[in-house]
Amino acid sequence: MSDETERALSSVSTDSNDKATQKGRLVVLAGPSAVGKSTVVQRLRELVPNLYFSVSVTTREPRPGEVDGRDYLFVSKPEFQRYIDNNELLEWADIHGGLQRSGTPREPVVAAMDAGRPVLVEVDLAGARQIRHSMPDAQLVFLAPPSWEILVDRLVGRGTESQEVIERRLHTALAELEAQTEFDRIIVNDDLEDAVSELISCWGIN
């Protein structure tokens, strides 16, 4: 087992008294940029303390304030390749033309499920498709905007990205929205509490 996997596993409780459900279930959350995934996940983690939120492994350098093992598992490119070679990732992708790689470690997710904990993995469309193949029992959830116009307003309203980046994100968002029928459940994020409540119901938690 790699040191990075051990760091991730250290956050997985196996105490049966902490089990949120009889059976740990993997829920995979995806959706376009600016749909509100981060806000939904933050609120979800406040309401479900026992939730295991998967920590991605990445080859990029840590940003200011990021903590290894909490925000990401930071590894070298050779270490990431070993993850791939050993089939230790549920999904992975080359980013920015291969300048960096990112993925979801398999072992901590499986350990959390074995412990009976609800498990959440947040990925993009390609990652969701890979997890559908690697873990067919996972429930895939698509977080959708109330409308295309609202999504555009949210994305443009950020004011942090160039027009070129916005257009690229909108192009990607359109493709993601067209693929939402591939998911087991679609949650429209027009109200935060309603969206979080519906997501929680995926684990059978009242």
User: What is the C-alpha to C-alpha distance for residues 120 and 53, in angstroms, rounded to an integer?
Assistant: 5
Q: Is 35 annotated as a binding residue?
A: yes
Tell me the per-residue pLDDT of 110-125, one tens digit each, with 9 for 90 and over: 999 999 999 999 999 9
Task: Domain ranges for the chain, please list them.
Answer: 26-203
Does the structural domain 26-203 have CATH classification 3.40.50.300? Answer: yes
Evaluate whether 117 touches 50 at the Cβ level (below 8 Å). yes
Q: Is 10 annotated as a binding residue?
A: no
pLDDT for 105 beyond 90: yes
pTM: 0.84
Q: Is 34 annotated as a binding residue?
A: yes
User: What is the C-alpha to C-alpha distance for residues 43 and 77, in angstroms, rounded to an integer?
Assistant: 33
- The stretches of 115-162 forming alpha helices (DSSP H) are 125-134, 148-157
6 or 169, which is more confident: 169
Q: Is 152 annotated as a binding residue?
A: no
Selection from 99, 95, 152 nearest residue 126 by Cα: 95
Q: What's the confidence (pLDDT) of residue 1? A: 52
Q: What's the confidence (pLDDT) of residue 11? A: 47
Phi, psi of 104 (to 5 degrees): -110, 115
pLDDT for 5 beyond 70: no
